[in-house]
Amino acid sequence: MKRMFAFTLILGIASCGTIGIGSNHETMIYNNSSDTISASSDSGIFKIKPDSHLRIQSNNGIAISNLNENCPQPIVTRRPNGPAIFFDIFPGIIFGIVPIAIDAITNNLYRMPKSYTYSCVE
C-alpha cells in the first residue's frame, strides 16, 4: 500500500502542469483606448468597449484588432509554463516521457498571461 501511495504521489508531482501547478488559459484584456476592440481566440470573437475589460479563455493566443488603422493590432501569445516543465524533468525523469506527455496532451506546457492592457492614443 505504501508503494502505491508513493507511486501516485511521485506521478502527481511529475505531471504537475496538469495536476499541481496547472496553466493559465484565461487572460483579462483591458481596453484603455477610445475605440471598441475585437479580441479573437479559439473560444470565439469578443467585443470589448472602451475603458472596460473582459476575461477571455484561449489555449493558443488572442488576436486583438481595431477598426482604427492607426492603432496597433497585437497578438497576445502564450509562454512556456516554466515550473511545470521543470517538475516534468525533475523528478519526472523517473517516469521517462510520461509526465511531459501528460502535460503536452492536456496543453499545460504553455500558459497565457494573466492580463493584457491594450492602449491606442491618438
14 and 94 in contact (C-beta within 8 Å)? yes
Q: What is the pTM of this model?
A: 0.76
Interatomic CA distance for residues 9 and 19, integer angstroms? 11
Residue for grid cell 469578443: 46
- Structure confidence at residue 3 (pLDDT): 79
The C-alpha torsion from 77 through 23 and 14 to 95, rounded to 10°, is: -50
| Amino acid 110: pLDDT | 86
Task: Name the more confident of 77 and 102.
Answer: 77
| The three three-digit cell numbers of residue 121, written as one number | 492614443
Give the residue-averaged pLDDT of 74-100. Answer: 81
Q: Is the peptide bond before 50 cis (omega within 30 degrees of 0)?
A: no
pLDDT, the chain, mean:
84
32-86 tens-digit pLDDT: 999 999 999 998 999 999 999 999 999 889 999 999 989 999 999 999 888 878 8
pLDDT at site 14: 53
pLDDT tens digit string along 15-30?
A: 555 555 666 789 999 9
Give CA–CA dist 75/25, Å, rounded.
15
Question: In b/e form, how buried is each residue of 54-65, taking b as 16+ CB within 10 angstroms?
Answer: eebebeeebebe
Output the pLDDT for position 22.
62
H or E, element range at 14: helix 2-14
Q: How far apart are the C-alpha atoms of 63 and 66, rounded to whole Å?
A: 10
Pairing of strands 115-118, 26-31: parallel
